[in-house]
Structure 1
Amino acid sequence: MRATLPTLAALTAGGLLLSNRMRHRHDPELFYDGHADGHLHGQHHTGTLLAAAAAVALGGMLLSNRRRAGRHGYSLSTVEESIDLDVPVRTAYNQWTQFEEFPRFMASVQEVRQIDDTHLHWKAVVAGKTKEWDAEITEQIPDERIAWRSTSGPMNSGVVTFHRLGENRTRVMMQMDYRPESLAEKVGDAVGGVKVTAKGNLQRFKELVESRGAETGGWRGTVGQH
């Protein structure tokens, strides 16, 4: 399986920097600052080595992701996060069904428009660029789970599940599969940016629900798995 151009570019850049560093490791003009006292001048070399290491590391992470590519030839990444809320499971679930309120706690989401019971249109900033896509709810069971998949635009799918821990205690678990597209998205994915964003979104959802103590609405319909 061939590596992507960004992967090759990162690996090549790191290799060239390391190769150049090794060729000049004995060159006194590169090691000394030219003064009579012969002080070592190593900041340039430290910076070069760090840049080389970063490039090689990035290339390695991108290559690792590439090797996880699915049958369609592109890489899928997965993020899993969970959080415990001090509210009943019904409250947590009902609030999550209010899709158009997602921008209130999802940092990068600008708008979610609900077309009907099972179809949504999303608008969000992804790696600094505004993107839009359509999604459908593929399964929905009150107080248990909501699953979705995109039908246009950036590929993503996942499920959010709700677990009763007590009368006023609920665990919300989210799993999402997605396909980074641009180099910026692949870099963000490689360094765990999506995981950090997901964790922050769940934390803000917790704060939103717990501060109110009740949901702002709720849809109790069921969608069969498809």
Structure 2
Amino acid sequence: MTDVGDDAPLTTSKHADPANDAAALGLEPHGDSLISRSVTINRPREELFQFWRDFGNLPRFMDNVERVDVIDQNTSHWVVTAPGGRTVEWDAAITEERPGEYIAWASQDGADVPNSGSIAFRDAGARGTVVTATIAYDPPGGVLGKAVAKLFQREPAIQARRDLRRFKQLMEAGEVATSARNRKELEEENA
């Protein structure tokens, strides 16, 4: 009997091997977990790419990202809040870029959270642009760390979905809708 291959996307396949799948997607094999999320945004592809490519914009809609310091055109330093409120940091380098379409990156040696990923921008006709984020990562603390992150809803699969939704809101409405007070409002209130 011939083995029938799984024709599901690599990030949803039941027979996935994250290291091989990351390589198949053109990512550096940094991590044992692979996730991918997409959203359609009613804005031109080039506009979305340019906004994302300015990594200093990312903390505006990425909930756990405290800051991204741009070191040079291809390297950046990330500071991210992990479950339990601790901070993790790493340097990341762009491994591939197609202007207006695609950015891939990989964390450099010594990262608190080894990771790699890509963000792709694909035309969706009159509907705008499909933005797809794909991330391979090693959760801090291994399987236990991944369970804790999931418990506190800080696991990258959950965060990617939420961050892309906030990106959509920011790009379509000019702001991120929230019912909670943000950190700046809380600091002003407590001052």
Query: Normalization by structure 2: what TM-score?
Result: 0.68
Partner of 1:173, secondary structure, is strand
Partner of 2:71, secondary structure, is strand
**Aligned residue type for 2:159:** T
Q: Aligned runs of 1:23-38 on 2, under 5 Å?
A: none
Residues in 2 aligned to 1:142 and 1:202: alpha-carbon distance in whole angstroms: 20
Structure number with larger C-alpha Rg: 1
**Aligned residue type for 2:145:** E
Where in structure 2 are there 5+ consecutive unaligned residues?
A: 1-16, 21-29, 176-191
Instruction: Measure how far apart 1:160 and its partner are.
Output: 0.7
Instruction: Measure how far apart 1:202 and its partner are.
Output: 0.3
1:80–1:173 Cα contact (<8 Å) kept? yes
Question: Could you tell me which residue of structure 1 aligns to residue 189 of structure 2?
Answer: none
Instruction: Measure how far apart 1:190 and its partner are.
Output: 6.2
Question: Could you tell me which residue of structure 2 aligns to residue 90 of structure 1?
Answer: 46
1:88–1:166 Cα contact (<8 Å) kept? no
Residues in 1 aligned to 2:122 and 2:137: alpha-carbon distance in whole angstroms: 24
1:116 matches 2:78: no
1:111–1:124 Cα contact (<8 Å) kept? yes
Question: Could you tell me which residue of structure 2 aligns to residue 134 of structure 1?
Answer: 91
**Aligned residue type for 1:200:** R
Residues in 1 aligned to 2:174 and 2:166: alpha-carbon distance in whole angstroms: 12
1:161 matches 2:123: no
* % identical equivalent positions: 33
Partner of 1:95, secondary structure, is helix
Match of 1:205 among 164, 167, 176: 167
Instruction: Measure how far apart 1:212 and its partner are.
Output: 3.6
1:157–1:176 Cα contact (<8 Å) kept? yes
2:31–2:136 Cα contact (<8 Å) kept? no
Number of residues paired by the alignment?
A: 145
Residues in 1 aligned to 2:173 and 2:18: alpha-carbon distance in whole angstroms: 42
Instruction: Measure how far apart 1:185 and its partner are.
Output: 2.4
Residues in 1 aligned to 2:174 and 2:45: alpha-carbon distance in whole angstroms: 15
Query: Normalization by structure 1: what TM-score?
Result: 0.58
Instruction: Measure how far apart 1:194 and its partner are.
Output: 2.1
Partner of 1:116, secondary structure, is coil
Question: Could you tell me which residue of structure 1 aligns to residue 137 of structure 2?
Answer: 178
Match of 2:158 among 196, 201, 207: 196
Question: Could you tell me which residue of structure 2 aligns to residue 103 of structure 1?
Answer: 59
Partner of 2:147, secondary structure, is helix
Residues in 2 aligned to 1:164 and 1:69: alpha-carbon distance in whole angstroms: 27
Q: Aligned runs of 1:54-73 on 2, under 5 Å?
A: none
Pair 138,70 (structure 1): closer, same or farther in 2 beyond 3 Å: closer
Higher helix fraction: Structure 1 or Structure 2?
1
**Structural RMSD (CA):** 2.6
